[in-house]
Amino acid sequence: MVNEEKKIFAGELFCPGDPELKAIKLRSHKLSQQYSALAEDQTEERNKLIHEIVGKLGEGCFFQGPVFFHYGTHVEIGDKLFCNYNFTVQDDAKVTIGNDCNFGPNVTIVTPIHPMLPSERRMMRNEEGKPTRFCYAKPVHIGNDVWLGANVTICGGVTIGDGCVIGAGAVVTKDIPPMTFAAGNPCRVIREITEEDSMVNKPEIMGKNQLY
C-alpha cells in the first residue's frame, strides 16, 4: 500500500495526483474500458476482467456494462450482485457491497470529498510546504439484499442497511436503517418494509406464480 493510499484509509487529506495513485487508477480505467467494450455473451473474458478490476468479488455476479471503477482495488463485493448498465464507482475510500443486491441503471457510488472553500480546492501545502491539490474520502457500505433504483447516487460516508429499497433518482447522503424504503434528494426514509409488502398481497401482479 502506497503512502497516499494509507492517508485515504485514515480519512486524511491525500493528493489524488500522486504518481503511485495515478498508476492504480489508470490500470482500473483501462480495465473498465476493456470490460465495457466486450459483448454481453463474452462471459469468460468479462469474468476475467472484472476479477482483475475489483479487490474482492463473490460468486454469481453480473455487470451489464458499461462499468467504471476508479481504483477498483478498493471495492469488495459479495455474492449475486446484479448491476444494470452504467455502474460507476469512484472508490477512493473503501466500498463494500453485500450479498444478493440489485442495482438499477446509472447507479453511482462516490467516496471522495473536496474542501468547501474555493481557495482550498485550488491549492494547499503538504507537510513539506509544497503546493498540492488535496481531497479526502469516506467509505461506503451497502448491506445484503439491497435494491437501488435507477439513477441512485450514494455519497461518501453512507451505510445502507440490509434489505433496504432506495427509490429511483435518490441522492443518499446519510445512513439508511435496515428494512426501510427511502427516496428523494436528499434521500430520506419513507417507511419500513413489512410483510404487508409481500407479493402475495398483489394477486393481480402475482398471477399463478408462487413464493420460493
Active-site residue list: 114
Residue type (1 letter), 115? P
Give the containing element (helix H, strand E) for 125: strand 124-125
144, 19 contact by CB (below 8 A): no
95, 74 contact by CB (below 8 A): yes
Residue 150's alpha-carbon distances to 33, 75, 95, 141, in angstroms, are 22, 21, 19, 19
176, 160 contact by CB (below 8 A): yes
Helices of type H across the chain? 3-10, 19-37, 43-53, 118-122, 203-206
Joined together, the cell numbers standing for residue 202 give 398483489
